[in-house]
Every structure is written in structure tokens, then in C-alpha cells.
Structure 1
Amino acid sequence: MDQDNFIRLVTKKFTKQLSDEERKELAGLLEDNPVYQEKYEIFKAYFSINHTGQSGKEEAFLRIREKITNREQQLDLKPRYPFKKFYLRAMAAAIVILCITFTYLHFNIPDQNTVPLEARTLRSSKKNIILSDGTRVMLNADSKLTFPKEFNNSTREVSLTGEAFFDVHHDASHPFIIHTSKMDLKVLGTAFNLKAYPDDKFSETTLLRGKVQITLKDRPADVITLKPSEKLIIRFTEAINPDISHKGKKMTTLPEITYLQHQDTAVVETSWMYHRVCFKHKTFGEISNELERAYDVDFVFKNEKIRNQVFSGAFDQENIREVLDALRLIEPFSYKIQKNQIIIK
């Protein structure tokens, strides 16, 4: 087990993937075991700049393998010291194993900078994130943002499930692109709110500053450009898929652009950032999704008429009972709370 660990650590050392903790662990092994120290020095020699130069990984490996072969041939010419010959052969075999491991890691393990990172939030929680380019993201409840550790390509690309407010760092030569399940957004430097929960029947993009280009994935030829104070609502309507004999459904999109009112003192679409719950002309069924995420509750409707009732309202994020009591003033209904389940009657 120690031998395998030594090989792993040495390989990571020469592929520049060694963490500070692993570096200390390797130093301890080398200090405590002179055999490991000898193997390390030999391996270091084979991977030195004098042997591999600036050539590619494959060429470097071929050169190392050639040197190992030459070393073994030299050993065959010196039969007078069988013990030393055996020891050196074992050392050469260890180097072969290390080289194979080195090559495997180089060709099969991706660069750590390309491994995507994830930021998640649970229901009734929010999170602030600063990306490597300085872009600021505030992630709403029950959401996920996937992004690289560093932006090293010609574009800066992230993926969002849920809702987030983006304040994108301006960089005209590296457009910022956000992928969602139904659409892609391309921006240069701007501030906007994007809502794309998979269980909602709509997605919303609200632009506060800058410029955004939106492409619908099922209609790639249509590119919609938003200007400040414009809001794009994409409503999803279910359509029967004839190819699977009515047993399944597919989603089609109908884009609808609405405009924010400049005189609004509190923009509904970003109210969640300030711990407020706001909605305009939405059914109780649609509102319940937002309340579930904001208060970590689950709604069960026993009354379909109330589910389809349209409400408008704005609340500081009080407790859920106060919100329900306020809604009952608009349209009477009864409810029952059992732990985190709310039954609407």
C-alpha cells in the first residue's frame, strides 16, 4: 500500500498536481525510507529537462522508455554482481511502473482548471459567488451554478439551474455565456436576473443594465436581444409527441416580451435579493412554487379553483402563515399546516 502511495505521490509531483498536504506526505516518505529516496532520485533524473526537453508528452515517454531499455541492456553486460543486477532491475521495473502511471495521468486526467466547480443552494437559502473574472452572482434558493475554476477560453461559459442575479464583469473580447435547459444567454458586461427552474412552466430574463442576446434551444435561428428594463418571458406549453403514441410529451416554447415600469420602486423580478416575496398576476399554483423555495415547505392543493386563482402581492419575507393569511383576504380559502406541508382546501 505504501509502494502504491509512493508511486501516486511521485507521479503527481512530476505532473505538477501535488497539493501542499501531499507534498509534506512525500517528504516524510523520502526522509524515512532510503529506498524510496533512491527511487525518487532515479525517477527525477529520467524526468529532468535534460532528458525530456520541451517536447510533447508522448515523445517524453518514448525517450524515458528508451533510456530504461538501454539501462537494462547495460545490466545484462555486467553479470558479475548478481545481487546488484537484481536490485537495479527492480529499480528499473519500478521506474517503468512510474512512467506508465505518469503517462496515464497525463493523457487521462483533465487539467484541474477544466474540472467544473458547482455552487448549490437549498430551499430557503441564498449564496453570493464571485467568479474568477470578477463577475458577481447571487444564487437564489434551490439553484445550482456550474462554472470553471478559471476562464481560459475565448468565451466565459457557465450553466444555471434555478435563479440567479448576474453582474457580469465587462470584457468585450471574452463574451459571457449562460446555458440553461431551454435557452442560452450571451452578454458582454451587464446586470440581469435569470430565472430558469426546471419545474416551472416559464423562464424569465430581466435586464437591468447592458445588453443580452437570447437564443432558444429549440429555435436556434431566433436570436432575441433585450435592452435595459426589458423582460423576456418564455412560457412552456405541453404538446403531445405523435412519435411515441401519446405516451410522452415534449415542451414547445412561446416567447413573450414584457416591459418593466420605470416608476416601479421595487422590481418584482429581483425582490428575492432583498428578502421579499413579490408576484404579479400569477396563479396560486405558480406562486406556490416560489413559496416552497422561499420557505422550504410543500403545498398540496385539495381545491383546484384556488390553485388557478390569480393573485398579486408583495411581502417582506415574513413567516408563511402571514403570507397565506394575506392571500385569504383577496380570495377566501382554508389551509392546514402539518410540519412543512401546507394543505390548501
Structure 2
Amino acid sequence: MYFIFKRLPLLLLVALVGCDNQFTKIIDDNWIKDPEVCEEDSTTVNFKQVAYWTPDDSDNIELVDFSMLTHIIYSSIIVNADASLVMLEDDDEELLEDLVTYAQPYSVKTAVSLGEWVSSNDSNFNTIAGSTTLTDTFVDNVIDFLDDYELEGVDIHWQTIESDDESDEFEKLLKALSKELVKEGKFLSMTVPSGEDYKTANRISSDLFDYVDFVNVIVFDEVDSDDFNASLQDAKDAIEYWTDRCLIKNKLVLGVPFYSVGSTTRSYDYLLRDDLDYVCVDNSRGRDYNGIPTIIDKTDYALSNAGGMMMRSLEQDVYARNNDDLDYSEYSLLNVINETVLGNEVSVCQ
């Protein structure tokens, strides 16, 4: 069981506040070990609309309105221990090429995610980061991969940092990669946990923020906690945690799930087609997921407190398909986010 000390009694809160108005937090795996004093954030926010795309049997990429995106990140790339990069499936190469073809006319920046949701990549990252030769090879392979597929960036998702030594290795790897990507005019992002599990998030050094263009914060698939269900409050807590870690607003991208978070994982598309009532209700039939009202609320909050929205994962959104008689486009979560960013009212749940 995880103990999250977020709603402390007033007297205890006062006792934890130091003279500089920074929390002097208990030195423990569940707390930030050293309070961070952040410089005033005066940077301009360029609001980002970032989506992951994971190939699946539905393959509805041609139905996506890419004008609603700024970045799209392709999953399913494996990082081997020898620093080589390979596709997860044989036909993924064609799917990646299709993604770039559809995105480029809209000036959407395309990227690949390395390490994302493939647990074996963590140990491989460790191996690579621990060797100067392998690190150089990895950086060269990444640059070559991006050039081969006309990609404009890369997202690094080192899922679990188990020690301070691994944290140091992560920083060295990210620094080396960032240096070359800057030369090539490519962007670099990284994906991090929400901060709900402080033990994991604390090991991600704030120094890493200097090497990336933005940080995708996962506010779903979190620690085994009865209090965590990808709610609006969870999103607020995550933004607050990373802001307190001195991650500037423009680089903080809030992640939202396009699928149910629970014992049975279902895409938003599946839920909606099973029962249209799912659109406007977040928690029903034992599943936690984000319907339209919460997506609107999260986007509104991100517009004031973050630098973008990240969608995991776009193929799970709902689109009009050839074998359907109904047009579901007004229920699309991508459309809901985009309309909210534009300041337009989304009335489908009213």
C-alpha cells in the first residue's frame, strides 16, 4: 500500500514549511528528498497537442485529422542491448511510413518512442548508458533511424530508475543524445510518471529538463492505489508535483488516457460503441476512464497550468469508419481537446 501525504492537517503543514516557503519534506522514498527552489518561470507557452500512435488491427490512421495535432509519436520500437533499434512487428515499417506521409502535410512533428512500455528496454538502456562506446553507437543509430524515416524527434521512456546510479546514467545518455539532436534540428522529449509514486519520480533528476524540449507526464497506469483513477484531481496533483520540481510550464505536457484504466482494459472507441452513455460518464461498470467532461476539464486546467496535452493512444479514439452507419466524429476525444484549446464550447454532453 502506498501512503500519499497530500492532505495533511493544517498544523502539520505549518510545521513542514520552512522560512523560504518551501516544504521541508521528510527524507524518505515517499517524499522529495531535497526541496527545490525554482526560478520564476517567465517563458512563453507554445501549447502542444501530442499523441502516441501504436499500430493495431484497426489501422485507422487515414481518418485522423492531423490539423488538430502538433506532435505524433510512434510506439513499438525496440532498443536492443547492443544499441540497435528494431521494429516490433514485421509490417511496422510500412505503418510508420504511412504515419509520416499523413502527418507531414499538416506540419505535425513526427517522432518515435524508445523504451515506451517495453520493460526489457530498461535493462538495455542501463547497458547502453554504462558504456561510452554503446552510448555513441546508440546516438548514431537514433540519428540514422530518424533520417531514414524522415522523422523529426524522439521520445525516451526509461520506465524505472532503480537507483541514484541509474539516474546518473540516464542523465549522461540523455545529454549525449540531446547534443546530437540539437545539431540535427530534431526535438527530444521524455516520458515520466505522474509523481503519485514519489519513489520512482524522485529519481528523475531536474537537471534532465535542460536536455529535452518537453516532458510527457503519465497520469494513468499508475501505482496500485485505490485513490488513483486518472481523475482531474490526479492530473492537478501531477502538474503540481512536476511544477514543484522546477519543470517550466512550457515543457510540462499532461498525459490523458484514451482507454479504460481498470481490471479490463478497453479502448475509448470500444467503450463508446458498446454503449454511447460511456461518452459523458467517467466511471461506470467497474472501469475508470476519461469521458468527454473530464477531458474538457483536464484540457482547461492544462491551458492554465501546463504546456500541452498528451494523448495515449490515438488509435483508440473513435472515428467514422466505412462499416458504420453513424458518424462518431463529434465524440472524438482528439476533437474535444482541440475544440477546448480553441476556446470553442463542446456541447455533446450537455
Instruction: Judge same fold: TM > 0.5, yes or no.
Output: no
Question: Which structure has the bigger radius of gyration?
Answer: 1
If asked which structure has higher relative contact order (CA below 8 Å, sep 6+), I would say: 2
Query: TM-score, normalised on structure 1?
Result: 0.21
